[in-house]
Amino acid sequence: MFRICVLGLIVSTSLVADLPDPVSPDPDSPRRCEAVDTVFIEDMTWMEVRDAMAGGKDTVIVATGGIEQNGPYLVTGKHNVVLRGATEVIARRMGNVLVAPIVPFVPEGDIDPPSVHMKYPGTISVSEETYRSLLTDICMSLEVHGFRRIVLIGDSGGNQEGLQAVALDLASRFGDKGSQTEIRFVPEFYDYAELAEWVESQGIHQVPEGLHDDFVMTAMMMAVDKDSVRTKQRIKAGCFHINGVNLAPASKTVRWGESIFAHRADRTVAGIEKAFAADAE
């Protein structure tokens, strides 16, 4: 019995020794199954990300959204919902792009005493310093992993200054250490004045109701998740409209959202190409 136990211990120890380290597996380990068709890094395994990069996906989008009050119908994660749809269209349009996890935490007002959106429950705010530090660490992580281009975009007005500052700072730091990674802030993504004019030119005429909401936002969100604008509940309550625009039928508004995403993608892709082409000249 003693000999059997000793032999079993030796065999077990040998098997354990042959197992990969769960924390530090071989970086060159082969993928064991087919990769999924997604552009979102958080929906991929590390092996899928590695192999996608090796296959030419050398650009990554870092997008910032927010958690804030958005009127009586839209969820607090409005900007994050929009970015989920917009970044996928952009990434698939370009072909060589992956999308980093959307950054939901941005400055939304002072915390104590509360100001701006922080006066309303559900809002989560961070300081400008925290926001920029978070963006910096995210982008430095992506640089270490070998992405050649990092694109910063934001879907809220309060996000833009910090995005630009981080891009400029890291561009300098990457250059100083001889990194092959380039980083740029692309303001063309967030141009709601132009977007409102374009939608107006397409025949959508809005009359503001004084809500942190409009047809453009609602349509984009419905194209991603109809529940995020409380579609069923609003139909039942007889308020399936915004700024004087009827949202029924829902399928038509979803198509509008898809068209708006396509328009924003056109402008953003052009902005990305312009931003990085400047370095090649």
Query: What average pLDDT score do residues 200-215 get?
Result: 96
β-bridge pairing 245-246 and 241-242: antiparallel
Query: What average pLDDT score do residues 265-271 get?
Result: 97
Count Cα neighbours of 33 within 13 Å in the Cβ-side half-sphere: 4
189 and 159 Cβ atoms separated by less than 8 Å: no
59 and 201 Cβ atoms separated by less than 8 Å: no
Q: How confident is the model at residue 15 (pLDDT cuts 50, 70, 90)?
A: low
CA dist., res. 125 & res. 67, Å (int): 8
Crossing angle for the helix pair 78-94 and 215-224, nearest 10 degrees? 70
124 and 157 Cβ atoms separated by less than 8 Å: no
Measuring CA to CA, how many Å separate 81 from each of 7, 53, 125, 193?
58, 26, 18, 20
Crossing angle for the helix pair 78-94 and 250-280, nearest 10 degrees? 60
For 5, the token pair is 């136990």
pLDDT tops 70 at residue 3? no
CA dist., res. 137 & res. 81, Å (int): 23
Q: How confident is the model at residue 26 (pLDDT cuts 50, 70, 90)?
A: confident
Helix, coil or strand: residue 97:
strand
Domains and CATH numbers, the chain: 36-190+261-280 (3.40.50.10310)
Q: How confident is the model at residue 201 (pLDDT cuts 50, 70, 90)?
A: very high
Count the residues in the chain: 281
Query: What average pLDDT score do residues 33-41 get?
Result: 96
The DSSP letter of residue 147 is -
**Per-residue model confidence as pLDDT tens digits over 145-200:** 999 999 999 999 999 999 999 999 999 999 999 999 999 999 999 998 999 999 99
Q: What is the DSSP string of 41-55?
A: GGGS-HHHHHHHHHT
**pTM, two decimal places:** 0.92
CA dist., res. 155 & res. 276, Å (int): 21
Instruction: Specify burial of residue 76 (Cβ count, 10 A radius: 0-12, 13-18, 19+).
Output: buried
126 and 157 Cβ atoms separated by less than 8 Å: no
Instruction: Specify burial of residue 127 (Cβ count, 10 A radius: 0-12, 13-18, 19+).
Output: exposed
Q: Which long-range contacts (CB under 8 A, 24 or more apart) does 12-21 make?
A: none
More confident of the two residues 64 and 17: 64
pLDDT at 7: 52
Q: How confident is the model at residue 113 (pLDDT cuts 50, 70, 90)?
A: very high
